[in-house]
C-alpha cells in the first residue's frame, strides 16, 4: 500500500529555464500510475476470518463470537430496510426455515441500518404476514441494528443504488455463510428488487458441510441424497474406501475426470477390509482420512467389520449425517 512518503519517491524535479527565470515543475512518472491506488478497507474474501463485533439488536446487545459459540456455523443476512414488502417476506420465510438451519448447526442473524426499536416493531408485522408459516413460528433470531453502517462497510454490504431519505446507501440483500472456525465460506449478493431463495442457502450449507467431510464436490442443482462428484485429486483407491463404488462417465476426450458417487452422507457404513485400510493410511491421504475413518469406527475397520454388524446395518434406513468437523481438505 502506497503512503504519502512513498509518493514523494515517485516525483522528480526538473529545472526549466525560460529567459532568466527558472521554474520547478513536478513530473509524475507515468509507469507508476497503474500501481497507485487509494488505501481503503476491503470487504472480506472467501477464507478470511470473520472478525468479532458487538452491536445492538432486536434481542439486545449481541457479541458475535459469544452468540455463535465455538461449534456453530452462522448465517448473516442483510436487508435494505424495515417495513418494506420484499424484506418482510424474506425474514418471515427465514423464521419458518429456522428449524432447518438449526438442524444444520447454524445460527441465523439478520441485519439492516435501522435501529433496534424499529426491528422490534417490524417483527410484529412479519409475524402477522403469513410468511412465518402456519405454526407458531416467529422471528426469534436477532436482527442487528447497524445504524452507523460499520458492519455494512466491513462486510461490503452497501448498495450504492439504494439510498434512504437522507441520501445514505442502504444494505443490499447479502448472505454470508460462516463456518465453525469463523471462516467466511460463501457470499451471495442480490439486488433490492430480488428476494432470496433460502432453500438455496440451505443447499449451499449442505454442500459445504458435506465436502468438508468427504473428498467430493457437489454438481449443479445438487440436493441431499443425490450423486456427488469425486474430487479430481482423489485417487481411485481412496475413493473406493471412503465412498464405496463409483461410476466414471465416458466422455469423448477419454479422460476419467467425471467420477460420480452416492451421497456419502446418506450411506450406511461400508465393510472395510484390513488390507484396504492399511494401504490408504500408508499414503499421503491417510492424515486427511482419519476423521472420516473415525466415524466409520476405525478400530473395527482395521480388523474388518463383523458380518453381523454389516448385515444389521443393511436393514437400517440411511440417515444423512451432518458433519461436525472439517476433516478433509480438498485440493
- Residue 29: Cβ within 10 Å count: 10
User: In the prediction, which pLDDT does 191 show?
Assistant: 87
Helix (H, G, I), strand (E, B) or coil at 27: strand
Q: What are phi and psi of 284, to 5 degrees?
A: -65, -15
Q: With residue 175 as reference, give the H or E element that holds it.
A: strand 173-178
User: In the prediction, which pLDDT does 166 show?
Assistant: 79
pTM, 2 dp: 0.71
Cβ atoms of 268 and 229 within 8 Å: the answer is no
Residue-wise pLDDT tens digits, 112-164? 999 999 999 999 999 998 888 765 568 999 999 999 999 998 888 888 778 77
- Residue 198: Cβ within 10 Å count: 20
Cβ atoms of 176 and 205 within 8 Å: the answer is no
Average pLDDT over residues 44-73: 95
User: In the prediction, which pLDDT does 281 show?
Assistant: 55
**CA-to-CA dists, residue 328 to 141, 180, 242, 281, 325, angstroms:** 31, 15, 11, 14, 9
Average pLDDT over residues 294-312: 40
Cβ atoms of 156 and 146 within 8 Å: the answer is no
CATH fit for domain 54-196, picks 3.40.50.300, 3.30.300.130, 3.90.180.10, 3.40.30.10: 3.40.30.10
Residue-wise pLDDT tens digits, 172-225? 899 999 999 999 999 999 988 999 999 999 999 999 999 999 999 999 999 999
Asked whether residue 78 carries a pLDDT value surpassing 90, the answer given is: yes
Asked whether residue 108 carries a pLDDT value surpassing 70, the answer given is: yes
User: In the prediction, which pLDDT does 35 show?
Assistant: 32
Say how far residue 285 (Cα) sits from the centre of its chain: 25
Query: Yes or no: is domain 209-314 CATH 3.30.1020.10?
Result: yes
User: In the prediction, which pLDDT does 138 show?
Assistant: 86
**CA-to-CA dists, residue 164 to 89, 135, 147, 229, 248, angstroms:** 20, 34, 12, 46, 54
Confidence of residue 165 (pLDDT cuts 50, 70, 90): confident
Asked whether residue 94 carries a pLDDT value surpassing 90, the answer given is: yes
Q: Measured between alpha carbons, how far is 138 from 128 in angstroms, rounded to an integer?
A: 9
User: In the prediction, which pLDDT does 318 show?
Assistant: 38
Give the residue among 178, 180, 199, 177 at the shortest CA–CA distance from 189.
Answer: 177
Cβ atoms of 233 and 331 within 8 Å: the answer is yes
- Residue 182: Cβ within 10 Å count: 17
Confidence of residue 29 (pLDDT cuts 50, 70, 90): very low
Asked whether residue 329 carries a pLDDT value surpassing 60, the answer given is: no
Report which of residues 161 and 309 the model is more confident about: 161
Average pLDDT over residues 304-327: 39
User: In the prediction, which pLDDT does 285 show?
Assistant: 55
Average pLDDT over residues 295-313: 39
Asked whether residue 59 carries a pLDDT value surpassing 50, the answer given is: yes
Residues 6 or more apart in contact with residue 312 via CB below 8 angstroms: none
Domain boundaries, the chain: 4-35, 54-196, 209-314
Confidence of residue 249 (pLDDT cuts 50, 70, 90): very high
Strand partners, 112: 145
Amino acid at each position: 500500500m502506497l503512503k504519502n512518503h512513498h509518493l514523494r519517491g515517485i516525483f522528480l524535479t526538473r529545472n526549466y529555464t525560460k529567459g532568466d527565470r527558472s521554474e520547478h515543475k513536478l513530473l509524475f512518472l507515468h509507469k507508476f500510475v497503474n500501481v497507485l491506488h487509494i488505501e481503503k478497507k476491503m470487504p472480506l474474501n472467501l477464507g478470511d476470518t470473520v472478525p468479532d463485533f458487538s452491536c445492538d439488536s432486536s434481542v439486545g446487545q449481541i457479541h458475535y463470537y459469544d452468540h455463535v459459540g465455538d461449534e456453530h456455523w452462522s448465517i448473516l443476512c442483510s436487508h435494505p430496510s424495515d417495513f418494506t414488502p420484499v424484506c418482510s417476506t424474506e425474514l418471515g420465510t427465514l423464521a419458518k426455515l429456522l428449524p432447518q438451519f438449526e438442524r444444520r448447526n447454524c445460527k441465523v442473524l439478520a441485519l439492516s441500518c435501522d435501529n433496534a426499536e424499529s426491528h422490534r416493531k417490524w417483527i410484529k408485522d412479519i409475524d402477522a404476514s403469513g410468511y412465518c408459516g402456519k405454526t407458531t413460528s416467529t422471528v426469534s433470531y436477532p436482527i442487528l441494528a447497524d445504524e452507523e453502517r460499520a458492519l455494512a462497510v466491513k462486510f461490503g454490504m452497501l448498495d450504492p443504488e439504494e439510498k434512504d431519505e437522507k441520501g445514505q446507501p442502504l444494505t443490499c440483500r447479502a448472505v454470508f455463510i460462516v463456518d465453525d472456525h469463523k471462516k467466511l465460506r460463501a457470499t451471495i449478493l442480490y439486488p433490492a428488487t430480488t428476494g432470496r431463495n433460502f432453500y438455496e442457502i440451505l443447499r449451499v450449507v449442505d454442500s459445504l458441510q458435506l465436502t468438508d467431510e468427504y473428498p467430493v464436490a457437489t454438481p449443479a442443482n445438487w440436493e441431499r441424497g443425490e450423486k456427488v462428484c469425486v474430487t479430481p485429486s482423489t485417487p481411485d483407491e481412496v475413493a473406493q474406501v471412503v465412498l464405496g463404488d463409483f461410476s466414471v462417465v465416458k466422455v469423448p476426450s477419454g479422460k476419467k475426470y467425471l467420477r460420480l458417487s452416492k451421497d456419502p452422507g446418506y450411506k450406511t457404513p461400508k465393510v472395510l477390509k484390513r488390507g484396504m485400510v492399511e494401504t490408504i493410511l500408508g499414503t499421503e491421504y491417510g492424515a486427511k482420512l482419519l476423521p472420516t475413518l473415525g466415524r466409520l469406527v476405525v478400530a473395527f475397520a482395521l480388523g474388518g467389520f463383523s458380518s453381523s454388524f454389516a448385515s444389521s446395518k443393511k436393514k437400517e434406513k440411511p440417515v444423512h449425517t451432518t458433519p461436525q468437523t472439517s476433516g478433509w481438505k480438498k485440493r
